[in-house]
Amino acid sequence: MYDRIKGFRDFYPGEMAARREAIDTLEDTARSYGFREIGTPALERAELWTDKSGDDIVEELYAFEDQGGRHVALTPELTPTVARMVVAKQQALSKPIKWFSTRPFWRYEQVQQGRQREFYQTNVDIFGSSEPEADAEILAWAADALTGLGLSGEHFEFRISHRDILGGVLEAYADDVDTEAAIRAVDKSDKIETGEYHGLLVDAGLSPGDAEEFADLIATGDLEAVEATADTERVTEAVENLEAVLAAAEDYGAREYCTISLETARGLDYYTGVVFECFDSAGEVSRSIFGGGRYDELLESFGGQPTPAVGVAPGHATLSLLCQRAGVWPEESVATDYYVLSVGDTRSVAAEIARELRDDGHVVEADVAGRSFGAQLGYADSINAETTVIVGERDLENDEITVKDMASGDEVQVPVDAFPGDHARPTIVEFQD
């Protein structure tokens, strides 16, 4: 007997039905905003990551040499792929380009609850607009997707910041500070001790006093204080941009979910402007549920024209944990409208009824295993059939069939010609007491 690989999941029908409902909610919301679905490869040249991504992602790559000697990698994220796709057709594509897709990604990392080596994300991106409305539309999609799942402001918040606020404030403290190292320190500040955090800031080039002052300042989230302390054009512009995004988010109905949180930095180095992370308001899911932000320089680094971009990518594993804890995760079970039970030489009539019910849009199973009445009824129950249509030889002699409501057990005889007719739904059939 073979086992599956560690960090890879099998999804059986009940769990898959719940996941599909969640994926449909995210995707239908994206479609309603005019985001367009794309399809992308599972393999890319490994150089897409080894050339410019952070060390973490490179260490976790599933990379290998293919039979043609290419150095390839299972994609650990979508952003480089969509960047490549935009660059490949940048003349032909009308902007803004609004794309989404749901698919698996792969990273060789420590397996834990909500983190597998194969994980699913819905990526939603806008290319070609540097306006705050684009950032706000990404936030609005995310908010609508989460409320569409049944979540509310009680359950989640978007912690939002701007990369240039941190960068600009750091710059104001010291010219030669290693901004990326300091931002990585801020990004980790939630998970480490204060002393270690301050130490990392000092390592990045701040004096011990500045490190503490800087840490305290950004912890307040007070945009006015930050702007006044830095007193540079860069920080002022970043604060104005962040405020403009929040104003647009207000118009788009997403402002109420946003909290200014200047410690939100996002680990990936390619973010340039507004960044945000979705957190569990109740704090039960301690790490960020998902994150996103603006990455205006990435496409140019892929050989394209300068193209502003902003996006987000909710992961389905953490999202399902959040939904489960909030009590809004869809039921993990299969649903069946009709089971057509055939006994004796009645297959052709049963098949005709099943076909008509399917044509009416119902989920209909019928016997394909030659089983007894009792075995079929047990199976109908196991697939949560709402109604069982019993097609028996004796009933058929009277041109009748029996329609059984599976919840109550009530049965009613119906002329075979009258079923399903125009009224396929079990509620239409009047059950006897």
Question: Within 31-60, which residues bind a copy of itself (CB under 8 A)?
Answer: 31-34, 36-45, 47-48
Which residues, 405 to 424, sit near a copy of itself by CB under 8 A? none
Q: Which of 24, 70, 399, 428 binds a copy of itself (CB under 8 A)?
A: 70
Question: Around Cβ 57, how many Cβ atoms within 10 Å?
Answer: 19
Largest CA distance in the chain: 94
Listed ranges 70-78, 212-220, 223-231, 275-283: which one lies at the site for a copy of itself (CB under 8 A):
70-78
Q: How far is the CB of 417 from a copy of itself (least distance, A)?
A: 18
Q: Of residues 326-345, which lie at the interface with a copy of itself (CB under 8 A)?
A: 334, 336
- The reply on whether position 66 binds a copy of itself by CB under 8 A is yes
- CA separation for the pair 260, 246 (Å, rounded): 9
Residues 224-243, one symbol each (x = binds a copy of itself by CB under 8 A, - = not), give: --------------------
Tell how strand 156-162 and strand 258-260 pair up: parallel
Among 22, 26, 57, 72, binds a copy of itself (CB under 8 A): 72
- Positive or negative: CA dihedral 129, 132, 133, 136: positive
Of residues 167 and 292, the one with the C-beta less far from a copy of itself: 292
What backbone torsions phi and psi does residue 310 show, to the nearest 5 degrees?
Answer: -150, 140
Q: Which of 43, 34, 22, 47 lies closest to 120 in space, CA to CA?
A: 22
Site for a copy of itself in 140-159 (CB under 8 A): 144
Total chain residues near a copy of itself (CB under 8 A): 94
Residue among 193, 197, 192, 190 nearest 211 (CA): 197
Compute the distance between CA of residue 27 and CA of residue 316 in angstroms, rounded to an integer.
12
Of residues 85, 337, 140, 334, the one with CA closest to residue 250:
140
Strands (E), 66-213: 71-74, 97-106, 118-127, 156-162
d(CA 151, CA 265): 25
- 95 scored as a contact of a copy of itself (CB under 8 A): yes
What mask of x and - would describe binding to a copy of itself in positions 373 to 412, judged by CB under 8 A?
Answer: ------x--xx-----------------------------
Contact 261, 134 (CB under 8 A): no
Among 78, 134, 200, 204, binds a copy of itself (CB under 8 A): 134
User: Which amino acid, residue 140?
Assistant: A
Among 25, 79, 99, 214, binds a copy of itself (CB under 8 A): 99
Nearer CB in complex with a copy of itself: 310/403: 310
Cα separations in angstroms, 212 against 6, 159, 201, 327: 42, 22, 9, 40
In the complex, the smallest distance separating the C-beta of residue 411 from a copy of itself, rounded to whole angstroms, is 22
- The burial class, CB within 10 Å (0-12 / 13-18 / 19+), for 367 is buried
Question: Which residues sit opposite 310 in a β-bridge?
Answer: 126, 294
CA 291/CA 9 separation, integer angstroms: 23
Candidates 95-103, 271-279, 287-295, 407-415; binding stretch for a copy of itself (CB under 8 A): 95-103
Q: Which of 154, 216, 369, 407 binds a copy of itself (CB under 8 A)?
A: 369
Using CB under 8 A, which of 197, 257, 279, 302 touches a copy of itself?
302
Interface with a copy of itself by CB under 8 A: which range of 25-33, 190-198, 259-267, 409-417? 25-33
Chain positions 166 to 205 lying near a copy of itself, rule: CB under 8 A, are none
Query: 94 or 112: whose CB is closer to a copy of itself?
Result: 94
Stretch that binds a copy of itself, among 99-107, 177-185, 289-297, 319-327 (CB under 8 A): 99-107
Question: How close are the terminal C-alpha atoms of the chain, in Å?
Answer: 52
Name the one range near a copy of itself by CB under 8 A: 184-192, 284-292, 324-332, 351-359.
Answer: 351-359
Of 54, 104, 267, 392, the one binding a copy of itself (CB under 8 A) is 104
Q: Establish if 363 lies at the interface with a copy of itself (CB under 8 A).
A: yes
